[in-house]
Copies of this chain bind each other. A is one copy, B any other.
Amino acid sequence: MFLRIQPSSSDPLFEQIVFGVKRAVASGELAAGERLDSVRDLAKQLAINPNTVAKAYAELESQGVIVRRQGAGCFVAERSSPLSDRERNKRLSQLVERLVIEAFHLDFSPPEIRAAVLARLDLHASDQGTSP
Contacts and interface: CB of A to CB of B under 8 A. Distances in A.
A105 to B, nearest CB: 5
A23 B108 CA distance: 15
Interface residues of A, number: 46
A93 B105 CA distance: 14
Number of copies: 2
A129 B108 CA distance: 11
A80 B63 contact: no
Given A114-B118, A114-B121, A99 B106 contact: no
B132 A102 contact: no
A63 to B, nearest CB: 7
B96 A120 contact: yes
Contact of A113 (B98, B105, B121): B121
Question: What 7 A-B pairs have minimum CB-CB distances, sorted nearest first?
Answer: A26-B104, A81-B107, A110-B121, A26-B101, A117-B117, A88-B106, A100-B132
